[in-house]
Structure 1
Amino acid sequence: MAPPETNAPSPADRLTVTGAPSGDATEDPATALLALPWSTPLEEWPEDVLAALPRGISRHVVRFAHVGGSIVAVKETTEELAFREYRLLRRLADRPPPSVEPVAVVTGRTRDHGTPLPAALVTRHLRFSLPYRAVFSERLQRPTLVRLMEALATLLVELHLEGFFWGDVSLSNVLFRRDAGGFAAHLVDAETGELRERLSTGQRAHDLEVARVNVGGELLDLLASGLADPDVDPAATPDLMVDSYRRLWEELTAPVAFPRAEPWRMDRRFRRLGELGFEVEEYSLRAAEAPGMMTARPTEVLAGFHRRRLERLTGLHVQENQARRLLVDIDAARRAWDPYLDMEGAAHRWVVEVFDPVVHSVPLELRAKLEPAEIMHQLLEHRWYLSEARGAAVPLQEAVDSYVDTILRARRDEDALALHPTTTMLRAVPDPEPGAG
């Protein structure tokens, strides 16, 4: 009888973690990930390593897990698909369209007795984000639905501007974050995507048609589950997204004709795109067929105009609508302090005297309710309604105290939603009524 092998490789010996350095010397992702139970199928992971966060519907097994002081999403898939999506997400990370951050690919997984297990793609959990089902209250109401359709359309436009062909557009493949009264959509599943130099009209049309079909099916499922109002039309509602996409795409890419002697008309058009949150990086200018006329066409448009400006001024990383709102408040503060003060100086003073004190005024136990920029937006809105009711400006600290006690305490914790780790659904509290902050 042969003696038992004593040098047989363990599951940990077979494991390979492929990732990029995080830039944080205190948290190396590859080393931290080794602590997870990779020799166990993902659907059998113990609850003590799982994070209780809501998940969307996926064709793969997906779990959220604690890694050091952060949370990651782990998806089981094939090695080929895991590396393909990981590299695609890394390329998207350098571009404006919002997407999840890839952490690593884990391969060579086996059970203790050597049976192979699927590879895993690991991405960083997007804080304060929700799958579309968790956005809804007890029933999907039309105002929320319209905002979700607009957010999905904006994300698709941003992706198409970068040459990203999605191939599987749906509500299930995005996460939503609150964005100053609306929503911002973030790409979380790029498995079927392709990044190209430029998309054809047919490729964009294909993504739109896929979106129409998938969103309609998801709404049918919500209706069947009793989670949507009966008057929600699953056939007509996807048209809201398609129409929003087409309007925005036309606004961003259509040529503008103007008299040669009136070039300011071109500048006005480009400023309009800036107001929409897009910046013209490159354009073509040529003589039009009509005598004395010129035609300008944007050829390279970059999303995130307000996000980038606010980040340059303050270092804050926020959503596009939040950035637009905060920039307005910085400019208002600048004019109140000193009309001759430049925006750089005003932004620094605003962070020190307004933003930071507001964030620090929120009790620690309430800071998981909303991200700081959304709290700031809601506070500004709340203060405006208080001032209107009083007929005089309400001091900032008084508005903060009122907002925390009457609005924020009643909200769910969107950065720490608690539910069973294998649950895909939860019941959310309703959105606040307009004017409630």
Structure 2
Amino acid sequence: MTDSLRITAAEFDPQLLTLPWSTRLEDWPSRAIVKLPKGISRHIVRFSELSGHVVAVKETTAAMAQREYEMLGALARLDVPCVRRVAVVAGRAADDGAPLPAALVTAHLSFSMPYRALFTHALRPDTATRLVDALALLLVRLHNVGFYWGDVSLSNTLFRRDAGAFAAYLVDAETGELHEAGLTDGQRAHDLDLARTNIAGEILDLAASGRVEGVDPVAVADGIVSAYHALWSALHDQQTVSASEAWRITERVRDLNALGFDIDEMAIETVEGGTRVSIQPKVVDAGHHQRRLIRLTGLDVEENQARRLLNDLDEFRVRARRSEEEEELAAHEWLTQAFEPVVRAIPFELRSKLEPAEVYHQVLEHRWFLQEARGASVPVAEVLTSYIRDVLRHRRDEATIMGPLTETLTAPLETLSPEPDWRDLV
């Protein structure tokens, strides 16, 4: 029964009408479902295909679906990492006329992983730290634009690989609130306390199932507090230096850039009779290296990946004897002579295992290890052959892994088939 449907979408896809909206989500036929790993949730969710792309469909109330749809749109406009909204489908009814819940449709985030996907066998302490650090940065970015999450957890987050680290994306914005005037210290502290409590509970749950080795759940949870405060202080604390040490202003800007943040402007005032300078930076959102890489090459990647690629680009420019004024020319040469040949060399059947930027980063790392072991330079062709044969072929595809909070467990994780070896992911 599609006559009664009310669809809200920024870009309407006619294939939305072909999904079985007159059937409760838990009863959708297998032909309408894309089988992806599922977690535990208070909502019913199914994954489906829409115009060649995978989407997540969540049943909820019409008001909650519309609210979350609008919130995800607002966060996207603020350039905050989150899943992309697709549509709200309301006015659903069964064939017998009985009303059905509304549905929120969001896009599948390619190459992303739910935190439980990393813990199928065992979670190493350094992996737990990297996940918490990524979540801390996401929380800082959200708070920086005035977003109060209200339900911070690993379960509400998706993770993508980012040059040896992880980048975190918000999945569930149901409880979120956007405050144009910014958040109070109390609101930020409450979000942080929720994060600590939820993370400790999630790690303890994993420990009970034997999926955690040598990890202190409380210490991991405490880690987000210290990581958050360190980041927030670096971005917002006022700094006072001697007028003779004005170079520290440049140092402060570089430190913030290293964290991935740009400076919109800096308020600088002299104090104590002009002998000292007080610095108060106005920080814009993260993505300093991303924006520079996009400007130079058009590549849109994660922040740490962008930093790693830019370092390689800068080294290429030096080897090519290009001046800083020839940066754009050097970037074009690097793209066509270094990055693209590596990406094209990956066999077609292996290209869904990792994103191109992550592959390039890993090739650079693999080259370093080979050269360190040999004590001499190694040709790129040999590095690629070794990497594809010894590393990439043994990885599991990450292009279709998704598992947000809004999933329902239909079978115990131990019974899901096939059972991939997740250990090589961490």
TM-score after normalising by structure 1: 0.91
The one-letter code matched in structure 1 to 2:236 is T
Does residue 112 of structure 1 match 2:95? Answer: yes
Percent identity between the aligned chains? 53
SS of the residue aligned with 1:12?
A: coil
TM-superposed deviation, 1:289: 4.6
User: Given the superposition, is the C-alpha separation of residues 432 and 120 from structure 1 closer, same or farther in structure 2, using an over 3 Å criterion?
Assistant: closer
Does residue 382 of structure 1 match 2:366? Answer: yes
Matched with 1:6 is none
Matched with 1:4 is none
| Higher deviation after alignment, 294-303 or 196-205 | 294-303
Does residue 240 of structure 1 match 2:220? Answer: no
User: Given the superposition, is the C-alpha separation of residues 55 and 281 from structure 1 closer, same or farther in structure 2, using an over 3 Å criterion?
Assistant: farther
Matched with 2:423 is 430
TM-superposed deviation, 1:406: 0.4
Deviation digits for residues 145-175 of structure 1 (CA, Å, limit 9, x no counterpart): 1111101101101111111110100000010
Matched with 1:15 is 5
Contact 1:52-1:421 at 8 Å conserved across structures: no
TM-superposed deviation, 1:65: 0.7
Pick from 279, 297, 300 the counterpart of residue 296 of structure 1: 279
Contact 1:138-1:427 at 8 Å conserved across structures: no
Instruction: Write out aligned runs for 1:30-429 (5 A).
Output: 30-197=13-180, 198-229=182-213, 231-289=214-272, 292-340=275-323, 342-417=326-401, 422=410, 425=413, 427-429=420-422
TM-superposed deviation, 1:33: 1.1
User: Given the superposition, is the C-alpha separation of residues 49 and 431 from structure 1 closer, same or farther in structure 2, using an over 3 Å criterion?
Assistant: same
TM-superposed deviation, 1:301: 2.9
Contact 1:47-1:421 at 8 Å conserved across structures: no
TM-superposed deviation, 1:421: 9.4
SS of the residue aligned with 1:153?
A: helix
The one-letter code matched in structure 1 to 2:210 is G
TM-superposed deviation, 1:283: 2.8
TM-superposed deviation, 1:388: 1.8
- C-alpha distance in 2 between matches for 1:311 and 1:423: 42
- C-alpha distance in 2 between matches for 1:283 and 1:115: 59
Unmatched runs of 5 consecutive residues or more in structure 1: 1-10, 22-28
Contact 2:133-2:224 at 8 Å conserved across structures: yes
The one-letter code matched in structure 2 to 1:413 is D
The one-letter code matched in structure 2 to 1:171 is L
- C-alpha distance in 2 between matches for 1:215 and 1:290: 49
User: Given the superposition, is the C-alpha separation of residues 149 and 417 from structure 1 closer, same or farther in structure 2, using an over 3 Å criterion?
Assistant: closer
Deviation digits for residues 245-289 of structure 1 (CA, Å, limit 9, x no counterpart): 111111111111122344321121011100111111133222335
User: Given the superposition, is the C-alpha separation of residues 422 and 360 from structure 1 closer, same or farther in structure 2, using an over 3 Å criterion?
Assistant: farther
| Higher deviation after alignment, 327-336 or 90-99 | 90-99
| Higher deviation after alignment, 294-303 or 419-428 | 419-428
- C-alpha distance in 2 between matches for 1:418 and 1:297: 40
- C-alpha distance in 2 between matches for 1:163 and 1:304: 18
User: Given the superposition, is the C-alpha separation of residues 264 and 96 from structure 1 closer, same or farther in structure 2, using an over 3 Å criterion?
Assistant: farther
Contact 2:113-2:401 at 8 Å conserved across structures: no
Unmatched runs of 5 consecutive residues or more in structure 2: 414-418
User: Given the superposition, is the C-alpha separation of residues 418 and 74 from structure 1 closer, same or farther in structure 2, using an over 3 Å criterion?
Assistant: closer
The one-letter code matched in structure 2 to 1:12 is T
The one-letter code matched in structure 2 to 1:431 is D
Identify the structure with bigger relative contact order (alpha carbons < 8 Å, sequence gap 6+).
Answer: 2
- C-alpha distance in 2 between matches for 1:424 and 1:264: 58
| Higher deviation after alignment, 270-279 or 233-242 | 233-242
Matched with 1:5 is none
| Higher deviation after alignment, 390-399 or 63-72 | 390-399
- C-alpha distance in 2 between matches for 1:186 and 1:290: 47
- C-alpha distance in 2 between matches for 1:178 and 1:31: 33
Contact 1:50-1:421 at 8 Å conserved across structures: no
Contact 1:18-1:30 at 8 Å conserved across structures: no
The one-letter code matched in structure 2 to 1:363 is P
- C-alpha distance in 1 between matches for 2:27 and 2:334: 49
- C-alpha distance in 1 between matches for 2:30 and 2:356: 29
| Higher deviation after alignment, 117-126 or 385-394 | 385-394
TM-superposed deviation, 1:424: 7.6
Matched with 1:8 is none
- C-alpha distance in 1 between matches for 2:272 and 2:92: 64
TM-superposed deviation, 1:417: 5.0
TM-superposed deviation, 1:359: 1.2
